[in-house]
Chain A
Amino acid sequence: MTKLPLLSLLTLIPLLGGVVVVSVGERRAAIARRLALAVAGITLLLAATLAARFEPGSGELQFVEKVRWIPALAVDYHLGVDGLGLLLILLTTLLVPFAMLAPGGPPHRAPLYRALMLFLEAGLLGTFTALNFFHWFLFWELSLIPAFFLIRLWGGTAGASAATQFFIYTLAGSVTMLLAFLAIFLAVGKFDFLELAELGRADRLTAHFNVNFGWYALPAETLTRLAFAGVFLGLAVKVPVMPFHTWLPATYAEAPTGVTMLLTGAMSKMGVYGFLRILVPIFPEQIRALQAPLLGLVVFTILFSAATAFAQRDLKRMLAYSSINHLGYCLLGLLAAASFAAPEARPTTEQAAALNGVLLQMLNHGLTAATLFACVGWLEQRSGGRRDLYDFGGLRRATPVFAGLMGIALFSSLGLPGLNGFVGEFLIFKGTFALAPWAAAAAVPGLLLTAVFLLTLMQRVFHGPLEPRWTALPDLTWRERLALAPAVALMFALGLWPQLVLTFTNATVVSLAEAWRTF
């Protein structure tokens, strides 16, 4: 049976599209803009096709493409998606057109800007489909480079330093991860995630390190731990986990709005994806040993990021900390699900609840955070670059539609039931409470702290007397409303009918949970 290599196409289209867009030239920026949007649209359609053809009842990897590539290095070209990958593909392909419609488009070198966005999309999609470390890492890094240039060239006043910090920070993580995988390759001779996960599941990774790799007389356990630490660091920077997060507020604040939307919406999910696809399956033993401190770190992240957000005056920085907080819940559920201390019966149910919650939370956060950043972008655009908490006041009077839509996004972010944010958090806490009760209980105040700073934002920006200089602030145009409408509609849809997503993820989650149980 000859089938279209859908996954390869999915990565290739934005890549080639980007090349075409950049070659259009500056003078025909409008054409480049439409072309880029069209490419993003085609990619979205392709992702929708993928979802339509996806077999929701199966937890197996689907649309698998596997071609031998460099046999000497055990490198295959190996692609495949399950519910997890599909979810992130859909999220990414949704966010790219949204980000392209976002406010604050580039005043100069527009074709390049849009082409870089498409390259970034290609990097993300490649990362979410690759199953062999070799090209997975290639895409992981590929996504970094366009992001760097996007921030460097179109960022705010401190864009250059933010871009450099972002790049070096993430690169440092990448380097440790690369070293770790090279060590694994030297010990095991494999790069394929699935094969490595088999080893991890059978707990034979350490044995391999012992036999093949008695390096400097370090014991095998230490070596595996080192490899684990390397991979963990690479992913922890990306998510990020405190204290590896200091690049994030500056980067999110300085990047142009569309790029921030992609960074928080899609790129931050690379880290969580890595945890789910790589870290836990390959290093179950190490996670088990370090579960308590890791959970502690995550709880710390949740509580402190929410508190620190309250101290911010720059709206983008505030939302950046809020992002850290929300992804903290993802890691909370994930680490709890990787637990083996499940008491009594129904551990798989609780693991599945936590993991389904994590997946939902990834999608929800991507949607909500991107919307919020888009809203701040519009605010910035209309007010001549202002985005300080105390710059505004009473805007709900001048711009009621804008206030309403951003209000919905804010309440979605603070986890109001009926909107999307709640379901993910509820499932995460339900699962986590059964598996790691103290961590769940300790993280609960985070829900309150989030409400405090988000409502403060609402109060300072939209409520109170209208500042005279903003009386003429224009409300959202119909085009802008249309750009926001799909996101807001999805918030309601996912909040009321989460089964829409769970249908795709549940089988995957169950097979993940089963696999993690049998470590």
Chain B
Amino acid sequence: MSWIVQQLWLVPALPFLAAGVLALTPRRHRRSAAGLAIGALTASLVLAGGAFAATLGQAGPDGFRAVVNFTWLETGAHAVRLGWVLDPLGAAMLVMVSFVGLLIFIYSVGYMAHDDNFTRFFCFLSLFAGAMLGVVIANSLLLLFICWELVGLASYLLIGFWFQKPEAAAAAKKAFITTRVGDLGLFVGMIWLYSAADTLVFYENGQGCLEQGMVTRLVATTAVAGMTLSTAISLLVLLGAMGKSGQFPLHVWLPDAMEGPTPVSALIHAATMVAAGVFLVARMFPLFAAQPDGATGESPALQAVTWLGAFTAVFAALIAVAQTDIKRILAYSTVSQLGYMFLGLGTGGVAVGMFHLLTHAFFKALLFLGAGSVIHGCHEEQDIRRLGGLRRTMPVTFATYAVGMMALAGVPLLFSGFWSKDEILHAAQGWKPSPWPFYLGVLGAGLTAFYMTRQMIFVFFGPNRTCARTHAAALTPHESPPVMTVPLAFLAICAVVLGFFGTPAWPWLQTYLEARPADLTAFDVSRLFAVGVLGLMVLSTAVVAAGLALGWWLYGRRPITDPAATDALELAQPGLFRLLHGKFHVDELYEATVVRWHAAWATLGELLDRWLWGGVVLLVHGLALGLAWTSRLLDEYVVNGGFDTACRRLVRGGRHMAGLATGKPQSYLRGLAAATAALALLLLWGGCR
């Protein structure tokens, strides 16, 4: 086995180590903190690149896969084993995570330059990167879960990084708890899988829980309600993925997570946290796709993934249409794009979903960092209605942001988002169970183009609405420093180039991820003109063009000058706009139900404690006291009372007797004489008888 596989653990371990050191570093060592974090991640990137290279050209019949497993602990005669795995899926993710992560780290040096807790920020960032890389290389659901939870911890720390802001503190808590709801599902799925398969290691010489033998066994077992065990476990695992990847109905934490510093948003929304959920499904795909012998069509678990993704893609895109915070629009766009990834996984398999995950990671990181540059340059202004006209003052940001926007919107041919989204739509089109996921996907594509146009126009075109009103020169937007714009440029290049690795003409990435036969990899333009492919390309181009045009028609025809002006869409459809602006009121619904139920339950517990259990204790206490009083009364009035009465009588008797003892001889003699007489009479009378 190659050296790189043996040493793969270093990829997550180095950032972890950096995080550990930085946790103990005093705050003033700012430069060395950033240096250490960036250095550690660079080393990880180099190793990840090596690992990636090792997977190239090694495709066997099942693709390349190398594992290292070890025993973590022994309980009874059973060994709990962990391990790491190197395969194309993991290698591609490793490179993406460490590369995008590294760019975000570098960008953060500029963005967080004035923060007091700079050192701590890089500590948490390193923890985040390490945990995510751990998720990627884990060859055991248990190790994956461990790193998964650490990702959750890091996101908690980073979303709440500005903990003095009550909103940030609340958002951090919300993120942790909402994702933990999903994690409970994953946890139950994990222990269920453990008890059914007796191992949580994915791949281990045919004994792993994702390998043919075990999957066949899981499919053959019926769990509950006619579901096979593999379906039941997959659905529970999916719950975990929904939490982390912000799928409906567990999406509520993701937009709130915008309270964190912008590089954190980029990291969460592009490279790390949300990608974890999609990656989890991709990693456990053999289990999701498993079908009993003879069954046709799609597996129930994958159908659930498909419907979930299609619904969320449109649901979140609709909300994004009516938001006014630059980062929140991007946040809902992320939720929507994650829906696409699930749709891709469900209909087209690992390669389709992962292709979009990878392209999205780059252009979404680009958009978030661009938004950060805007916010940084405009003095922490995030409301798109008060921005505007930045095209002239922030040219680099504008150019790169436009690339990201077009990639996200799926502008044809040049931009990566077009290719990866088309792959998904193509797969959805051919999906047997229902055509609706495809329709939803097309609708979502149009909406995406629309809301991104709206955002672009608000932020970069027209006059600057803050400066125009206040005339304050100090508030003039300024371009960000190179430490921030250079990463943007890198990401913009990737947002274009990456798409070419997965076009129908040259489906290199799909071949790499799914270990297809090599002849498919060859460049062949004619595949672009196959009937289904070309037709779909034309359709999606038309839809995107319609979205762009509608956006321009509503917002771009006349420059928007007044930040308080009513939104063009609101003028047209006030009711709909309010519903969308209110995010379908899901938060309020949860507030009114789950949160309130929980509070009521807590109160119930407290009341039970105070009145029921406490009441019983009080009752026992009262009974004991009552018993004590009764016995006291008994003592005083019955037992003691009898005794006392007897004593009193005795005393009285004695006193009476004492009255006889007068001390006068004549009365004594009188008594004596009377007694003698009585005695004599008695004896005489007795003698007569």
B174 to chain A, nearest CB (A): 9
Q: Determine if A433 and B184 form an interchain contact, defined as CB atoms under 8 angstroms apart.
A: no
Q: Determine if B164 and A430 form an interchain contact, defined as CB atoms under 8 angstroms apart.
A: no
Q: Which of A409-456 contact B (CB under 8 A)?
A: 411, 416-418, 422-423, 426-427, 429-430, 433-434, 440-441, 444-445, 447-449, 451-452, 455-456
- Taken residue by residue from 161 to 198, chain B's Cβ proximity to chain A (1 for < 8 Å, 0 otherwise) reads as 00111101110110011001100100110011011001
Chain B contacts for A397, CB-based, 8 A: 163-164
Q: Which of A427, A433, A466 contacts B75 (CB under 8 A)?
A: A427
Q: Determine if B149 and A433 form an interchain contact, defined as CB atoms under 8 angstroms apart.
A: no
Q: Does B473 lie at the interface of the complex (its beta carbon under 8 Å from any beta carbon of A)?
A: no
B87 to chain A, nearest CB (A): 24
Chain B contacts for A245, CB-based, 8 A: 613
Given contacts A422-B146, A451-B176, A459-B173, contact A352 B76 (CB under 8 A): yes
- Taken residue by residue from 588 to 613, chain B's Cβ proximity to chain A (1 for < 8 Å, 0 otherwise) reads as 00000000001101111110110011
Q: Determine if B616 and A445 form an interchain contact, defined as CB atoms under 8 angstroms apart.
A: no
Q: Determine if B187 and A429 form an interchain contact, defined as CB atoms under 8 angstroms apart.
A: yes
Task: In the complex, identify which listed stretch (A1-9, A277-285, A505-513) lies at the interface while the others stay far away.
Answer: A505-513
Q: Which of B91-128 contact A (CB under 8 A)?
A: none
Taken together as a complex, chains A and B put the C-alpha atoms of A441 and B190 apart, in Å, by 12
Q: Which of A348, A441, A464 contacts B164 (CB under 8 A)?
A: A464
Closest to B192 in A: A433
Q: Determine if A349 and B163 form an interchain contact, defined as CB atoms under 8 angstroms apart.
A: no
Taken together as a complex, chains A and B put the C-alpha atoms of A352 and B163 apart, in Å, by 43
Given contacts A243-B613, A464-B164, A502-B75, contact A416 B605 (CB under 8 A): no
Chain B contacts for A404, CB-based, 8 A: 23
Taken together as a complex, chains A and B put the C-alpha atoms of A518 and B198 apart, in Å, by 23
Chain A contacts for B609, CB-based, 8 A: 246, 249, 308
- Taken residue by residue from 283 to 304, chain A's Cβ proximity to chain B (1 for < 8 Å, 0 otherwise) reads as 0000000000000000000001
Q: Determine if A417 and B177 form an interchain contact, defined as CB atoms under 8 angstroms apart.
A: no
Chain B contacts for A445, CB-based, 8 A: 184
Chain A contacts for B671, CB-based, 8 A: none
Q: Does B522 lie at the interface of the complex (its beta carbon under 8 Å from any beta carbon of A)?
A: no
Q: Determine if B163 and A433 form an interchain contact, defined as CB atoms under 8 angstroms apart.
A: no
Q: Determine if A448 and B169 form an interchain contact, defined as CB atoms under 8 angstroms apart.
A: no
Chain B contacts for A458, CB-based, 8 A: 173
Chain B contacts for A352, CB-based, 8 A: 75-78
Q: Determine if B605 and A246 form an interchain contact, defined as CB atoms under 8 angstroms apart.
A: no
Given contacts A394-B163, A430-B191, A430-B195, contact A509 B75 (CB under 8 A): yes
A401 to chain B, nearest CB (A): 10
Taken together as a complex, chains A and B put the C-alpha atoms of A464 and B605 apart, in Å, by 28
Q: Determine if B176 and A455 form an interchain contact, defined as CB atoms under 8 angstroms apart.
A: yes
Q: Does B150 lie at the interface of the complex (its beta carbon under 8 Å from any beta carbon of A)?
A: yes
Q: Does B525 lie at the interface of the complex (its beta carbon under 8 Å from any beta carbon of A)?
A: no
- Taken residue by residue from 482 to 519, chain A's Cβ proximity to chain B (1 for < 8 Å, 0 otherwise) reads as 00000000000000001100100010011001000000
Closest to A304 in B: B605
Q: Does A382 lie at the interface of the complex (its beta carbon under 8 Å from any beta carbon of B)?
A: no
Q: Does A68 lie at the interface of the complex (its beta carbon under 8 Å from any beta carbon of B)?
A: no
Q: Determine if A444 and B188 form an interchain contact, defined as CB atoms under 8 angstroms apart.
A: yes
Taken together as a complex, chains A and B put the C-alpha atoms of A497 and B166 apart, in Å, by 37
Q: Does A153 lie at the interface of the complex (its beta carbon under 8 Å from any beta carbon of B)?
A: no
Chain A contacts for B147, CB-based, 8 A: 417
Closest to A312 in B: B606
Chain B contacts for A509, CB-based, 8 A: 75-76
Closest to B166 in A: A464
Given contacts A417-B149, A417-B150, A448-B181, contact A348 B76 (CB under 8 A): yes
Given contacts A394-B164, A429-B191, A464-B163, contact A304 B617 (CB under 8 A): no
Q: Determine if A304 and B608 form an interchain contact, defined as CB atoms under 8 angstroms apart.
A: yes
Chain A contacts for B176, CB-based, 8 A: 451, 455
Q: Does A82 lie at the interface of the complex (its beta carbon under 8 Å from any beta carbon of B)?
A: no
Q: Determine if B169 and A463 form an interchain contact, defined as CB atoms under 8 angstroms apart.
A: yes
Q: Does B3 lie at the interface of the complex (its beta carbon under 8 Å from any beta carbon of A)?
A: no
Taken together as a complex, chains A and B put the C-alpha atoms of A433 and B180 apart, in Å, by 19
Taken together as a complex, chains A and B put the C-alpha atoms of A245 and B165 apart, in Å, by 38
Q: Determine if A499 and B73 form an interchain contact, defined as CB atoms under 8 angstroms apart.
A: yes
Q: Which of A309, A423, A433, A463 contacts B195 (CB under 8 A)?
A: A433
Q: Determine if A510 and B164 form an interchain contact, defined as CB atoms under 8 angstroms apart.
A: no
Closest to A445 in B: B184
A428 to chain B, nearest CB (A): 10
Chain B contacts for A510, CB-based, 8 A: 76-77
Q: Determine if B617 and A444 form an interchain contact, defined as CB atoms under 8 angstroms apart.
A: no
Q: Determine if B598 and A307 form an interchain contact, defined as CB atoms under 8 angstroms apart.
A: yes
Interface centre among A312, A458, A463 (most CB of B within 10 A): A463
Chain B contacts for A217, CB-based, 8 A: none
Q: Determine if B192 and A353 form an interchain contact, defined as CB atoms under 8 angstroms apart.
A: no
Q: Determine if B72 and A499 form an interchain contact, defined as CB atoms under 8 angstroms apart.
A: yes
Taken together as a complex, chains A and B put the C-alpha atoms of A59 and B485 apart, in Å, by 64
Q: Which of A411, A423, A447 contacts B184 (CB under 8 A)?
A: A447
Q: Does A311 lie at the interface of the complex (its beta carbon under 8 Å from any beta carbon of B)?
A: yes
Q: Determine if A448 and B180 form an interchain contact, defined as CB atoms under 8 angstroms apart.
A: yes
Closest to B604 in A: A307
Chain B contacts for A33, CB-based, 8 A: none
Interface centre among B23, B75, B602, B617 (most CB of A within 10 A): B75
Q: Which of B73, B170, B173 contacts A502 (CB under 8 A)?
A: B73
Taken together as a complex, chains A and B put the C-alpha atoms of A451 and B191 apart, in Å, by 20
Q: Does A310 lie at the interface of the complex (its beta carbon under 8 Å from any beta carbon of B)?
A: yes
Q: Does B145 lie at the interface of the complex (its beta carbon under 8 Å from any beta carbon of A)?
A: yes
Taken together as a complex, chains A and B put the C-alpha atoms of A408 and B173 apart, in Å, by 16
A399 to chain B, nearest CB (A): 13
Given contacts A307-B602, A307-B605, A513-B76, contact A448 B184 (CB under 8 A): yes
Q: Does B519 lie at the interface of the complex (its beta carbon under 8 Å from any beta carbon of A)?
A: no
- Taken residue by residue from 454 to 471, chain A's Cβ proximity to chain B (1 for < 8 Å, 0 otherwise) reads as 011011001111100000
Taken together as a complex, chains A and B put the C-alpha atoms of A312 and B599 apart, in Å, by 11
Q: Does A350 lie at the interface of the complex (its beta carbon under 8 Å from any beta carbon of B)?
A: yes
Given contacts A417-B149, A444-B184, contact A455 B177 (CB under 8 A): yes
Chain A contacts for B194, CB-based, 8 A: 430, 433
Q: Which of B119-171 contact A (CB under 8 A)?
A: 142, 145-147, 149-150, 153, 156, 160, 163-166, 168-170
Q: Does B62 lie at the interface of the complex (its beta carbon under 8 Å from any beta carbon of A)?
A: no
Q: Determine if A463 and B74 form an interchain contact, defined as CB atoms under 8 angstroms apart.
A: no
Closest to A354 in B: B75
- Taken residue by residue from 60 to 82, chain B's Cβ proximity to chain A (1 for < 8 Å, 0 otherwise) reads as 00000000000011111110000
Q: Determine if B74 and A353 form an interchain contact, defined as CB atoms under 8 angstroms apart.
A: no
Q: Does B574 lie at the interface of the complex (its beta carbon under 8 Å from any beta carbon of A)?
A: no
Closest to B605 in A: A308
Closest to B173 in A: A455
Q: Does A235 lie at the interface of the complex (its beta carbon under 8 Å from any beta carbon of B)?
A: no
Interface centre among A305, A346, A451, A456 (most CB of B within 10 A): A451
Taken together as a complex, chains A and B put the C-alpha atoms of A465 and B74 apart, in Å, by 46
List the 8 closest A-B pairs by CB distance, nearest first: A352-B76, A308-B605, A463-B169, A417-B146, A311-B602, A311-B606, A310-B602, A434-B195
A interface with B by C-beta (< 8 Å): 165, 169, 242-243, 245-246, 249, 304-305, 307-312, 346, 348-353, 356-357, 394, 396-397, 404, 411, 416-418, 422-423, 426-427, 429-430, 433-434, 440-441, 444-445, 447-449, 451-452, 455-456, 458-459, 462-466, 498-499, 502, 506, 509-510, 513
Extra contacts besides A246-B609, A430-B195 (14): CB < 8 Å = A307-B601, A311-B605, A348-B77, A349-B75, A416-B150, A416-B153, A417-B145, A418-B150, A433-B192, A459-B170, A463-B163, A463-B168, A464-B165, A498-B73
| Chain A to chain B contacts (Cβ below 8 Å), 28 pairs | A169-B617, A243-B613, A308-B608, A309-B602, A349-B76, A350-B195, A353-B76, A394-B164, A396-B163, A416-B149, A417-B145, A417-B149, A418-B146, A418-B149, A422-B146, A429-B187, A433-B195, A447-B180, A447-B187, A455-B173, A459-B169, A459-B170, A463-B164, A464-B164, A465-B166, A498-B73, A499-B72, A506-B74
B interface with A by C-beta (< 8 Å): 23, 72-78, 142, 145-147, 149-150, 153, 156, 160, 163-166, 168-170, 172-173, 176-177, 180-181, 184, 187-188, 191-192, 194-195, 198, 598-599, 601-606, 608-609, 612-614, 616-617
